Amino acid sequence: MADGREILWFDDPGRAPRDPADLVDRRDLPRVEPASQLRYDALAGEWVTMAAHRQDRTYKPPADQCPLCPSRDGRLTEVPSPEYGVVAFENRFPSFGSAPGAPLPEPGPVPQAASGRCEVVCFTDDHDTPFSRLTPARARLVLEAWADRTAELGARPGVRYVFPFENRGAEIGVTLAHPHGQIYAYPYVPPFPQRMLAHVAAHREATGENLFDTLLADERAGERVVVAGEHWTAFVPQAARWPVEVHLYPHRPTPDLPALDEAQREEFAHLYLDVLRRLDALYDDELPYVAGWNQAPVLESDGRSDARLHLRVHSIRRAPGKIKYLAGSESGAGAFISDVLPEAVAERLRAL
């Protein structure tokens, strides 16, 4: 890109090769020089990232000024081509710096450089087509992009965890309406997967079994399954924190996105679209949600062999026009209190 960032095109099989001359970013942009810091919260045992430069990121532009649409009709955007299938590029306003090879952060009171990588993944060049209305072929192409970027980013020095995710909807806080997600390559294992893997390790020590596998078997035999295929099951977890929450697990123990086989990839594209369309039908409106891939950390010392790939989708909408806010108990004490029964949500989604 004009400021030195990397961009990659992912195209449908059989498409003619692109002419490199048509992929030139002709904007005059200063180079991106993020100055993020990592600071360690010793009481919580967690890293906090300071990224003050993100205060100036693009905020809710009108559709005709969307920076994620293709460059056409004389208007130059982040994607220097008149059309595209799926693109991935370095975020112009990243939470982490892009300099590879920085040493892994060490807990302590001194702020440290937040090395890593943040990428944007645009699912389609159509500004008004959300993921739930993509074709299965396009959903499969997005999955291929996620897998490719996971492998590439996980191989970068200093990266310990790769997290592809999508935020959808103004209620979630999305500032760009174009259908897109992001991928964060962290220089540490984030708190949530770190806690999960600690419990999984303890369970293996006590029982010799993998807790992920045990939970999946229990859910597949229960009443909270939303939809199931030959290779994947989508279910509402028995201890769902959010008003609407669905997890998607592959049946074969799989550590991360690159490890998915052909059959898993093909079925996922159809089953995930089925789930998203049920979610949109729940309140006859496009449901605001966060969808994030939990997968194996890069290092074996962080519990890679115990990890199991799965996708978690959750929404803060608890009823039409009503939001579940994280107030005193949730944000102050970290104790979730749910307003709905998971079994009731699963039954409604199955019926749609």
Q: Which amino acid is at 246?
A: V
What's the pLDDT score for residue 320?
A: 93
Q: What is the pLDDT of residues 264-323, one digit of tens each?
A: 999 999 999 999 999 999 999 999 999 999 999 999 999 999 999 999 999 999 999 999
Instruction: Please indicate, yes or no, whether residues 225 and 137 belong to a single structural domain of this protein.
Output: no
Instruction: Please indicate, yes or no, whether residues 185 and 196 belong to a single structural domain of this protein.
Output: no
In a domain? residue 26: yes
Instruction: Please indicate, yes or no, whether residues 144 and 204 belong to a single structural domain of this protein.
Output: no
Q: What is the pLDDT of residues 119-142, one digit of tens each?
A: 999 999 999 999 999 999 999 999
Domain boundary among 190, 207, 230: 190
- Give the CATH number of the domain where residue 197 resides: 3.30.428.10
Domain boundary among 159, 190, 221: 190
Return d(Cα 9, Cα 29) in angstroms, integer.
Answer: 21
Structural domain including 263 reads 192-351
Assess whether 247 carries a catalytic annotation: no
Q: What is the pLDDT of residues 34-77, one digit of tens each?
A: 778 999 999 999 999 999 888 888 888 999 999 999 999 999 99
In a domain? residue 2: no
Q: What is the pLDDT of residues 236-273, one digit of tens each?
A: 999 999 999 999 999 999 999 999 999 999 999 999 99
Comparing 22-31, 96-105, 143-152, the range with the smallest average pLDDT is 96-105
Choice among 178, 180, 247, 310 that is catalytic: 180
What's the pLDDT score for residue 59?
A: 83
Instruction: Please indicate, yes or no, whether residues 174 and 87 belong to a single structural domain of this protein.
Output: yes
Return d(Cα 95, Cα 103) in angstroms, integer.
Answer: 17
Instruction: Please indicate, yes or no, whether residues 17 and 137 belong to a single structural domain of this protein.
Output: yes
User: What pTM value is reported for the model?
Assistant: 0.96
Yes or no: say if 111 and 172 are a contact pair by the CB < 8 Å rule: no
pLDDT above 70 for 101: no
What's the pLDDT score for residue 33?
A: 78
Instruction: Please indicate, yes or no, whether residues 211 and 136 belong to a single structural domain of this protein.
Output: no
Instruction: Please indicate, yes or no, whether residues 166 and 219 belong to a single structural domain of this protein.
Output: no
In a domain? residue 319: yes
* pLDDT-above-70 percentage for the chain: 99
Instruction: Please indicate, yes or no, whether residues 51 and 159 belong to a single structural domain of this protein.
Output: yes
Instruction: Please indicate, yes or no, whether residues 210 and 185 belong to a single structural domain of this protein.
Output: no
Residue 31's pLDDT band, with cuts at 50, 70 and 90, is confident
Domain boundary among 190, 219, 240: 190
Backbone angles phi, psi at 58, to 5 degrees: -60, 135
Instruction: Please indicate, yes or no, whether residues 33 and 114 belong to a single structural domain of this protein.
Output: yes
| SS3 labels along 138-195 | HHHHHHHHHHHHHHHHHCCCCCCEEEEEEEECHHHCCCCCCCEEEEEEECCCCHHHHH
Instruction: Please indicate, yes or no, whether residues 176 and 254 belong to a single structural domain of this protein.
Output: no
- DSSP states of 260-294: --HHHHHHHHHHHHHHHHHHHHHTTSPPPEEEEEE
Instruction: Please indicate, yes or no, whether residues 221 and 294 belong to a single structural domain of this protein.
Output: yes
Residue 219's pLDDT band, with cuts at 50, 70 and 90, is very high
Domain count, the chain: 2
In a domain? residue 1: no
Return d(Cα 352, Cα 346) in angstroms, integer.
Answer: 10
* Strand, coil or helix: 32: coil
| SS3 labels along 74-110 | CECCCECCCCCCEEEEECCCCCCECCCCCCCCCCCCC
Comparing 24-38, 97-111, 303-317, the range with the smallest average pLDDT is 97-111
Task: Report residue 19 as tokens.
Answer: 């002419």
What's the pLDDT score for residue 98?
A: 63
